[in-house]
Chains A and B, each alone.
Chain A
């Protein structure tokens, strides 16, 4: 069955960096646009980025543009999010999901940015 498993979250100081990973299985990963979506504690959902199947197209929310980079490795069926210059308000659960109307989601990985 379809599985998306995020990893790489944790506690980081403001200005620091983290790289999130999402391991995909059970579907034809390279055929799908993929997204990262986050949810701050007790708050709503915020779409932050997507990438096309062959990595030709990427797009970012203004809140992360220039700081976050989405990438993928189809040979490893994995999605990544490199997060630099982290801020306190980047604290959230980060989900990977299929893009568009997201029918597949991971369970999320928690990123806490705090001094």
Chain B
């Protein structure tokens, strides 16, 4: 199974500042020449997860452009360029390259 490891486990960032969450997989998630099977989700308390990013860097429709995804191979990053109060949540990465479609353990993002 592919193991997904996120860092850090928790993060406190000031409003308007940049937040960066990392995700590392135990094998490459490259599906074809330039598509990585890696997604990012945001989950707020009492709600299901919300898809933010797929193919490692494609923003889901309606997601603010302060959210961006990057990375390649086995190392990926979710960046929030200017943290807003409504971004407080737990963020998960997930690989859908191989079954089981494993998730990272989650990163809790708070306001400093």
Contacts and interface: CB of A to CB of B under 8 A. Distances in A.
Interface stretch (A12-20, A68-76, A81-89, A95-103): A95-103
Interface string A22-63: 000000000000010000000011111010000000011110
Contacts of B60: 103
Interface in B60-112: 60, 90, 92, 94, 96, 99-106
Contacts of A59: 99-100
B interface majority secondary structure: loop
Interface string B39-77: 101010000111100110000100000000000000000
B109 to A, nearest CB: 14
Nearest to A46: B103
Contact of B49 (A50, A61, A62, A105): A105
Contact of B39 (A50, A102, A108): A102
Given A44-B92, A45-B94, A47-B101, A103 B51 contact: yes
Contacts of B92: 44-45
Interface residues of B, number: 24
Contacts of B51: 101-103
Nearest to A100: B96
